[in-house]
Structure 1
């Protein structure tokens, strides 16, 4: 019986691997006009592409300037990428398949310039070292020069996604500001010690979330509770 189960597991693993490789191979050379989804995701023709080896701020991700001003880094990066590449003819070389979001992971080129590398070099994305060190030197040079997002204070995009998906709950003890949406749809945040803090609950599925600072809450569109 154990041999039979192990054999079935090997079969299913091999089948999944074969299908994944087939999907990547089928999309190995992608060509078409670019439609920018966000800083590191594009539609190239009718194929959704996640840019290999880089991680850009999420579209609604906030940050703070070095002088303490709130700034929408994610929206800014998306606009920059759109200004550069929207409507351009691109060629992409697939490197992997993102089964979770049904996207091809790829290097993409416009007029001979690699988009992935250019974005990191210009400070529009981080090198995603978890998956690749291809753009490590470009990020270091952009960091030294304070280019783009390196001139702001912000969370790593991967951490921002993690805390947003999980509702910014107690996994980070520093993120204790509650971003609540009231019955009228008004976004109000509560800090520890305020009158309604303890009785306020957070329902992440409805867009409510935890924040790590008041600056972050304001940059995301919440206002401080008056009580």
Structure 2
């Protein structure tokens, strides 16, 4: 089914990777910014409101200019997933390049290069230590308080190592919330990344995957 037309208008910044345009929530494709209440640590180990700062950086970049978002998908929460532009500039890329968001490799590799630029420059969150936003959300879901000793220099890709040599089937959750497993040799097996903090997992057999509610990838 074809996606609806691009969305253009005045944007309100919800957080570092979410906008609202004319009543429609838009999740910026391919990046993951610190959550609004998330703390990071600077080079001296001092806490700072990185999530709040990321949102302010995005808001300042947009100003009062109209934003145009190219729809790509809808996420599991019903939000439009899009690449958004202001004055011809890709906001998704700008957030990653300036260290206010990580490349969200689970869904896209479009901004891996932008993230590498920020990491090399120690820009934004890369100036100190922090939890990747997806890990921070998982910690909150488990009811654990955020502590300084939970933070660390953020890694590059999400976890891809299988727990054991016999468990090679990748249980992935796509942007629509569908649970799909990929077997070795499948078309998308090598490029699929597993992030266990988001509910994804490894399976030791197809029977195990199907019993857990996953379906086999079509290719």
Give yes or no for TM over 0.5. yes
Alpha-carbon deviation of 1:87? 3.1
Aligned to 1:107: 83
Q: Which has the larger radius of gyration?
A: 1
Aligned to 2:26: 49
**1 CA distance for matches of 2:147 and 2:40?**
11
Aligned to 2:50: 73
Which residue, 96, 101, 121 being the options, matches 1:120?
A: 96
User: Pairwise mapping of residues 91-170 of structure 1 onto structure 2 (< 5 A)?
Assistant: 91-100=68-77, 102-168=78-144
Aligned to 1:224: none
**2 CA distance for matches of 1:67 and 1:165?**
28
**How many residues align structurally?**
151
Aligned to 1:60: 37
Structure (1 or 2) with the greater helix fraction: 1
Alpha-carbon deviation of 1:163? 1.1
For the residue of structure 1 that corresponds to 2:51, the secondary structure is helix
For the residue of structure 2 that corresponds to 1:78, the secondary structure is helix
Render the CA deviation track for 1:41-88: whole Å, top value 9, x for unaligned.
Answer: 001222110000000000110011111211111111111111111432
Which residue, 195, 198, 211 being the options, matches 2:146?
A: 211
Contact 1:32–1:91, Cα closer than 8 Å, also in 2: yes
Contact 1:35–1:87, Cα closer than 8 Å, also in 2: no
Structure 2 gaps of 5+ residues are: 152-219
**1 CA distance for matches of 2:90 and 2:148?**
36
Contact 2:73–2:80, Cα closer than 8 Å, also in 1: yes
C-alpha change, 1:52 and 1:91, in structure 2 (3 Å) is: same
For the residue of structure 2 that corresponds to 1:153, the secondary structure is coil
Contact 2:139–2:146, Cα closer than 8 Å, also in 1: no
For the residue of structure 2 that corresponds to 1:48, the secondary structure is strand
Render the CA deviation track for 1:200-225: whole Å, top value 9, x for unaligned.
Answer: xxxxxxxxxx3344798xxxxxxxxx
For the residue of structure 2 that corresponds to 1:57, the secondary structure is coil
**2 CA distance for matches of 1:93 and 1:82?**
19
Q: CA RMSD in A?
A: 1.7
